[in-house]
Structure formats: C-alpha cells, structure tokens
Structure 1
C-alpha cells in the first residue's frame, strides 16, 4: 500500500512577501486617474470660461459669455477719434443711445469679471474689443417695371426699421412696426419717382436718400422728367431725365440738346439718369427752354395715366421778382431809395442771388434824401411796376451798353446779379425833372436832395399840348435836327437844336430861341433858354424821369 505525501510545512520566501507592490500600483493608478480628471476639468473650465464680442442683429453688438466665463461688468462704445457714445446694456446686448450714421465706424469694449474660484488662475477680469460699422441697408432695385394696377414694392438687401419717402426734398418719416425687407410706396401716376431713405436699425439715422422710379410695361423707353414738361423752373434748376432703360440702350451716340444755349453741361447721375447742371446764372429769366432728344420716348401724360411719344420737352423759366428787381436797383444806386434786408444779406454767389431773384428776402426801402419832391414820392410802389422802376432799368441798360427798352429781360437780370456779386454801385447821383404847365410855366431840376435849377420854360400850344404824366428820357443827344408837322399841316425841319432829351415820343427838353419863356409856345416840347438847357442836359441821361404836371 502506497501512502500520499503530506504538504510540506516549509514556505518559500516569495510566498511570504507583503502586498506592498500591489498597493503601490493601485495608488499610482488612482493618481493617474485623478490627474486625468483634473486635467479634463481644467480643460473644460478653460474651454467654457471664454467670452466673445460679436455683431448683433438688433443691437450693435452682444457679449457671448460661456458658463464659467463670469459676468459682464462694464461696456463702452467709441466713435471716430475716440468719441464716447452713450449706450444701454440689456441681456448682454449693447445698443447705442444716440443716433449713429449708417456705415459709421464704432469700437466696442467690454470687461468680464471672472468667478472668484477661477480668478486666481486666469485673472479677475477679461477684456474684449470689437471694431465694426453700423449696418447699411440698400435698395435692391431702383428702376422698377410695375403693371398699372399694381402697388409699387421697394425691396432692400436687409431688413429696415425706419423709412422716409417723398419728393422735392420733402420726406415723410415713419417707424415700421417691425423690421422688414420691403415697403409699399404711394402710387399716383403710371410712372413716377420718389426719394427713399432708410435705417436698418431703430437707433440709426436715416441713410442718404436714393431715387426709386417705376414705369409701366412698354416696348419703348419711358422718360420721367423733373421738372415735368411744361412746368416753370428757376434759372439754375437742374433738369433731370430718368429713363426706364439704361442710358446705353437709349442713347447710342448722341445726347440731348438744350436750347437756347445755356451755360452748364449734361452729367450722368447713374445708369438710367442724365442731369443738366447749369453754371453761372443758368438760363435767362422768362425764357423758354427746349430739350431735343435723339430718339422718340414715351412720356406720361399730364393726368399721370396715358403715355404719348415725343422727342421734345419744353419748360418756361419763371420771371424774376419785381420786388427783387427794385431791391437790386436800389442797392446799385439807380433809385432815389435805399434798401436794407431785415435778415442776413444775400451771399454774393450766383446760386444765392438767383434764389433771391425768385424768392426775394424781406427788407425795408427808405428815401435817400429827406426833401425828395412829392411828385417823385407819389410814383413809388414797392413790388409793383412803376415809372420809377422803368426809368431805373433804362438807365441801367444804357450804362451797361444794353438795348434800352425799360424791360428787365434776361440780359438785364444777369448784369444786375453780376453787379450785386461784385458790389458795384452807381455814384453819379439821381436826378428828377418836373415841369409846371400852368402859367407862368417853369422847369425844376432836382438832384441828390438839392434843387439845381428852376427856369422858365415853354410847353405845347393848345393845338399841340404837352402830355401830362411822368416819362423817362429815352434819347439824349447834344445837338440834332428836329422835324415834324405843324398844327396847320405844314412840315417843319429845325437843324442845330441843342441839348435834346427826348422823353415822350417826339416831345423833348431842349434849348430854343424865343423872345420870352413861361407860356405855351411849342409843339409839345419843353423849351428852355440856351443857358438853362445847357445846365439841365448833363443831369438828364437816359432813364431820368420827367413829370409834366398841371
């Protein structure tokens, strides 16, 4: 019988080693895991503790703070040159409290305070800065083709919050109930044009207005004219022609021609619009302007509905103001009155003077001399045609080598405005002649507040009386031949008559050899002794007023 061996009571040393190494490995594993966790947490904190400043769709900018980023402590806005801009902060959005111009460059700066438990590692504060521009909204299409019964819809490249539209510089402003990408314009005609200005944000100013034009469908180019054909315009007013098709398709070679010839030139405002911009004093007052087009175009009728085809457009330049004419003549020394404006003086520029010529400034006339004859005072009527004004115009025309007709035409206005700009003033004084036709008849010459001469004279006989009234001298000659018909039908021809000043048809002041003076003896003229006529003549240039009174 074989017996099994019993376990040996003897143990190996390796079996008796304590579990120290295993514990050490476990500790190192735990430390490694903790390190990984800590590094992950630190990474997460680093990743989620950021803050950024970005543009916003309603405010100017907004702050995006991550979960561990902290809180917004301070915000500032700066305009060009470091100018501070007031702002409000709501829900981390930065909104200007003053109106910004679309496209204006703005810098935003914010300060973020980090949590205290994070501040020791990353710092207590974080600063972010962003430079951006206030948004600008643009009209998507400025030349629209719109069926007659359809509304005019204007679209934009981004939503807008406020809009103003109108014509001739008069825009009506309105705030939209919500930002939108299109608006509807009022339509009063088949074709038309309105200026449109918009703001993308409620805190912005309106942008520069742009013209939006609409046209009905048509095969031929349609023309919008401003001013409308047939209207009155001021001498310096631009003539704006807007076409439904691009200019390159309307005018292949030639351009429109303006007549009569007017200083200025045609300018292309955009791809559809030509503008004639005058220079100097522009078109003459009371003239008719015509534009000849190189091809026929369709123009909206006066009622604003139908279209008619034409190659000609006509306007009338409005006349100058009679009141402004008198103001200028007074300032230039051609009237016995002075004029002073109630407000600022008119600037010495063509534009300002032209504007004043159609819209005269307020002011006051005053007599230059306290002893102005009552006969002369009775002739004055501010703002209305009068013999005083007519005589002054004739004197001005003569002194400027213009045709003397007493009418303030384009040439007179241009010369007057040029003198006003240059500050020129007539310095030879103002004369007035009045003749008493009651016996004993006499002539009185008044000049610059003084009676220069009072002389006996002769007026017309009962068969050829001197007409009563006030007349300006229209011809002024030192010596000439006077001829005509006597009351009995015979003809007379008197050469060598001295010091002649014609004032009414064939009636004149002149020297004549008579045995006596002071009674009716002439055929309508005012006859004076030679010495008196010689003294009067230098004071009676063209335009001098002569009053024949009873």
Structure 2
C-alpha cells in the first residue's frame, strides 16, 4: 500500500497520510486526476464537457497516440474544517523535475451545514466561470415538525431531522466542481469561516477569482476534519441555535 501511494514529488505530510489509504483502483483520486488532465490535454472534451476520470473507449484510443506533455503544475487543494475560521490552502509543485513544493495561496471559506461537505478527496471534474445552481438546503426541525411534513420534503440527514428547502442560485461565479455537485466557488455572505452552505465550499469574491485562476482540471481537492469536534471550538446549544437561525436568515435573503 505504501509503495502504491508513494509520490515522486514533494507533498505535505497530510497528503501523504491520506493517500496511503487510497489503494490501487480506478477510484484512486490521483488516478482519476491523471485521466481528467489527459482528457483535457488531448482535447477529448469540449470546454463545457464533464470528465469523471473514467477509462472510456475514447481514452483508450487516444492512449495509443503520442501522449501530450502535461504543462500544468501539480496542485493539491486542502479544505480544512478542523479550525475556525475554516480555510482553503493550495499546495503547488512546478512541472520542473527539480521543482520544490510550497503553499502558494490561502483563503477563508465556508463549508456545508450539518456536515454536508463530507471528508474525502476528489479531482476537479468541471470548471465554469459562471453558472446557475439548484438544489435542496437542509433545515433542522423538531421531531414533532418532522412527522407533520410530507415524506418527499423531509429526511434524516447526518443525524438531524430536516425539511428540504429548494433553492435556485443564479450567477454563481468561479465554479470548480469536485464531488457530486459540490464545488469551490464565490458566494456572497456577510462573513466567512464557518458552515453556511448546502455542501459547497464558498469563498469571498476576490479570493474566489484568484483561486479560479490558479486551479485547473484534475487538481485534487481534500476536505478534512471538522472544527465542531474540537473542545476548544465547542459552542453552547443556545449559541448554536442562534447561529443556525442567522445562517438561514442570510440564505433566505441572499
């Protein structure tokens, strides 16, 4: 396992630790990352095409031809929920064989409420300068309220009784999709640094524009930890309720 996960470039200790558990399979994030970058470098997909990093007949056919050189640096995006404020960092290793890795950018971010931004590692599979997002936002309700809702509008979500509020968010800028509709992107908030989204990783405008310019297809995004699990960051139930209400109020008026 350690041989499979060995890197031939300098990587942070945190990336080495999590990659030791990836194993050798088509679901390995680094394997999928390479396939996605190959599809882009060999123009197998159009600009708005979506790559899931899978071995397709088109990929196999293209692999018989000369392989285009990957001109992009290696980049790893670490989304850290283990401290408050939550933040994102980018690790970069230049394509030069002698290139040394370093952290090149950091920004405060928001992740999803009720643990809706799960821990894990995935490659960026689609990038859009602007798009419209639709989905459902989980709103915590009491068990009594839960049983009064139609079955289609409720569920148990990560241990919470919730009702689902449909939303449409037009003109979302600087979007980098990495897992099941979740993306790193700009979203307007009064503040940043704690869970507020429906699952995406939200950034302030200027920071999101900078991150969008730095990232490219296939970059691996790792979501790690959760600050609510740390004793130093625990909040009282009353504070948690006030924070949740503030988040929902901002969402309703955004």
**2:92 counterpart residue number:** 447
8 Å CA contact 1:476, 1:540 repeated in 2: no
**2:30 counterpart residue number:** 388
* Partner Cα distance (2:137, 2:172) in 1: 17
Could you tell me which of 375, 379, 397 is aligned with 2:19?
379
**2:194 counterpart residue number:** 519
* Partner Cα distance (1:414, 1:376) in 2: 32
Q: How does 1:77-156 map to 2 (within 5 A)?
A: none
Q: Could you state the TM-score of these two structures normalised by the residue count of structure 1?
A: 0.31
Greater share of strand residues, 1 or 2? 1
Q: How does 1:499-518 map to 2 (within 5 A)?
A: 499-518=174-193
The Cα of 1:549 is off from its aligned counterpart by: 0.4
**1:466 counterpart residue number:** 117
Q: Higher relative contact order at CA 8 Å, sep ≥6: structure 1 or structure 2? A: 2
* Partner Cα distance (2:137, 2:52) in 1: 29
Query: Structure 2 unaligned runs (5+)?
Result: 46-50, 94-100, 139-162, 226-254
* Partner Cα distance (1:524, 1:461) in 2: 7
* Partner Cα distance (2:91, 2:66) in 1: 27
The Cα of 1:508 is off from its aligned counterpart by: 0.6
Greater share of helix residues, 1 or 2? 2
Q: Are 2:65 and 1:418 aligned?
A: yes
**1:290 counterpart residue number:** none
Query: Structure 1 unaligned runs (5+)?
Result: 1-322, 327-336, 338-364
C-alpha RMSD over aligned residues: 2.5
* Partner Cα distance (1:472, 1:383) in 2: 16
The Cα of 1:489 is off from its aligned counterpart by: 2.5
State the Cα deviation string for residues 387-440 of structure 1 (Å, max 9, x = none). Answer: 1111111121122232523122343234234224xxx42122111101011222
**1:49 counterpart residue number:** none
* Partner Cα distance (2:24, 2:197) in 1: 37
Q: Could you state the TM-score of these two structures normalised by the residue count of structure 2?
A: 0.65
The Cα of 1:490 is off from its aligned counterpart by: 2.5
8 Å CA contact 1:502, 1:508 repeated in 2: yes
8 Å CA contact 1:431, 1:539 repeated in 2: no
Could you tell me which of 77, 80, 86 is aligned with 1:436?
80
Q: Which of the two has higher C-alpha Rg? A: 1
The Cα of 1:459 is off from its aligned counterpart by: 0.4
Question: How many aligned residue pairs are there?
Answer: 183
* Partner Cα distance (1:505, 1:382) in 2: 21
State the Cα deviation string for residues 491-541 of structure 1 (Å, max 9, x = none). Answer: 211111110011111211001111111111111110011111111112332
Closer, same or farther: CA 405–503 of 1 in aligned 2, 3 Å: closer
The Cα of 1:479 is off from its aligned counterpart by: 0.7
The Cα of 1:376 is off from its aligned counterpart by: 2.7
**1:493 counterpart residue number:** 168
Q: Secondary structure at the match of 2:65?
A: helix
**2:143 counterpart residue number:** none
* Partner Cα distance (1:501, 1:457) in 2: 14
